[in-house]
A and B are shown apart, each in its own frame.
Chain A
Amino acid sequence: NAGVTQTPKFRILKIGQSMTLQCTQDMNHNYMYWYRQDPGMGLKLIYYSVGAGITDKGEVPNGYNVSRSTTEDFPLRLELAAPSQTSVYFCASSYGPEGAFFGQGTRLTVV
């Protein structure tokens, strides 16, 4: 049982480049989330999805886009990377009372 899988684990981007962070889950969860975690801080919600074809903005959506074409996949797209997007990104999926299950995170550095 793989759970939530994120790729890549590490990435360095140059300012202005774009990239997609991949997230897939095999637990058939409808709910999926993207968070960013800055050093020594909590998790801030970027986008979430309650099912295939449905996405909505979280607390800090600017500079990001998402799509949810299938239940399993929830990729996060960064357009025109900026130094302020240097962070650790977590993808999670949940089923109510079971809680959220997290991927291992992607450490992104924008230089």
Chain B
Amino acid sequence: AQTVTQSQPEMSVQEAETVTLSCTYDTSESDYYLFWYKQPPSRQMILVIRQEAYKQQNATENRFSVNFQKAAKSFSLKISDSQLGDAAMYFCAYLNQAGTALIFGKGTTLSVSS
């Protein structure tokens, strides 16, 4: 069975600085998708960034980028130029190609200070 592990329950960063959130996963499949979701206090789940396992190029969305290491089964999220609005819980997620397993890590709470 697939698993997703986020080893940092809490992280903090100052405004304008860079922070990296870690995620590792375990799977025996070769094709799958990985995602980072943001959950602010409103509890809405917001898709931040996605990565397809067959693509070697790391995904980037504005200030958000990932470091995808397929062999190491690692998928970290880098937030550059952090803003107060980035404060939220962040979830790493794995989706198998069949769509039958959408699995989340336990989340990392990010706080941003001015």
Q: Are A43 and B47 in contact (CB under 8 A)?
A: no
Say yes or no: is B30 at the interface (Cβ < 8 Å to chain A): no
* Distance between Cα atoms of A91 and B93 in the complex (Å): 15
CB-defined contacts of B44 to chain A, threshold 8 Å = 102, 104-105
Instruction: Say whether A96 contacts B100, CB under 8 Å.
Output: no
Q: Is the CB of B99 within 8 A of A104?
A: no
Given A41-B106, A104-B44, A105-B43: A99 touches B99 (CB 8 Å cut-off): no
Partner of B102, one of A30, A45, A56, A105: A45
A66 CB to closest chain B CB (Å) equals 14
Contact of A48 among B33, B43, B91, B100 (CB under 8 A): B100
**Inter-chain contact total with CB atoms closer than 8 Å:** 58
Contact, CB under 8 Å: A96 / B99: yes
User: Contact between B99 and A31 (Cβ–Cβ < 8 Å)?
Assistant: yes
Partner of B100, one of A42, A43, A56: A56
Query: Is residue B52 contacting chain A, with contact meaning CB distance below 8 A?
Result: yes
C-alpha spacing A39/B107, complex, angstroms: 12
A76 interfacial by beta-carbon distance below 8 Å: no
Closest chain A CB from B45 CB (angstroms): 4
For B97, list chain A residues within 8 Å (CB): 96
Closest to A35 in B: B104
Check A42–B95 contact: CB distance below 8 A: no
- Whole-angstrom distance between the alpha carbons of A43 and B95 in the complex? 14
Closest 4 pairs between A and B when the two form their complex, measured CB to CB: A102-B45, A42-B106, A31-B99, A43-B104
Given A33-B102, A42-B106, A43-B91: 9 more A-B contacts, CB < 8 Å = A30-B99, A31-B102, A41-B106, A41-B107, A42-B105, A42-B107, A96-B95, A99-B50, A102-B44
14 contacts between A and B (CB under 8 A): A31-B102, A42-B105, A48-B102, A56-B100, A94-B99, A96-B33, A96-B95, A96-B97, A96-B99, A99-B95, A100-B35, A100-B45, A100-B102, A105-B44
